[in-house]
Amino acid sequence: MTDSILLVDDDPLLLDSVRFSLERAGYKVATAADGAEAIAAARKHSPDLAILDIGLPDADGLQLCRRLQASRPVPVIFLTAHDREMDVILGLERGADDYITKPFSMGELVARVGAVLRRARVGAARPPERYEVGDVVMDLVRHEVRVAGRLVEPPPKQFELLKLLMSRPGEAIGRQQIVDAIWGEDYFGDTRVLDVHIRWLRELIEPDPANPRHLLTVRGVGYKFSDE
């Protein structure tokens, strides 16, 4: 299957030349000129990799990287000018995969894209060790959940419920789908048990459980973990 790439830069000439080189290398390419277009394109195309200009006029590249990766784990390569390299170092520390400094050769960029995609495939074969959405961090190795640095201790069912929702941030998951995943498809009890566990989870992780920011009800569907 052809890998798809989201390319984000406010320079139309650079957009055209990079897109041409990537398409010639066999990739499908969607382009965006600013942060708002980038978010919309990511939702529409679900790219396998994003190439981001760190100095967009309407968006901070680090924040855009974080927003893209909140909805689904996508590898990121930053494009940067020489005087923005410290920003890129911060980006690499916060989840970006590589960067390339302008001006660059198209051959080097295509090679870096291929290398990042290969690493991503290897990483995808291993289960994740943690989920981090906003100020909620779930460490699967330590079996810990922290909210704004504070350790909370959900019971086993609530831990699995939180794990399911955090693994798909921003995605509304149906009630029956959640019940089947957590209690098993052969569970024939009252599905309102889900609502009880959601309420208990909110008391653990929400600053104001009556007005949740993380665990949101999607009316007529089920629940989702907010990606904002």
Q: Domains of the chain by range and CATH? A: 4-124 (3.40.50.2300), 130-225 (1.10.10.10)
pTM, 2 dp: 0.56
Nearby residues of 16 by Cβ (< 8 Å), 6 or more positions away: none
Band the pLDDT of 84: cuts 50, 70, 90.
Answer: low
**Whole-number Å distance between alpha carbons of 48 and 191:** 36
What's residue 136's pLDDT? Answer: 93
Residue keyed to tokens 């029956």: 176
Band the pLDDT of 184: cuts 50, 70, 90.
Answer: confident
Q: Which run of H or of E encompasses 87?
A: helix 85-93
Write out pLDDT tens, residues 97-155: 888 888 899 999 999 999 989 888 765 555 678 888 889 999 988 899 999 999 999 99
What average pLDDT does the segment 83-110 reach? 80
Whether 186 contacts 94, CB under 8 Å: no
Hey, how many other C-beta atoms are within 10 angstroms of the C-beta on 179? 20
Write out pLDDT tens, residues 71-82: 677 889 988 876
Write out pLDDT tens, residues 202-214: 999 999 999 999 9
For the cut 60, the answer to whether the pLDDT of residue 172 exceeds it is yes
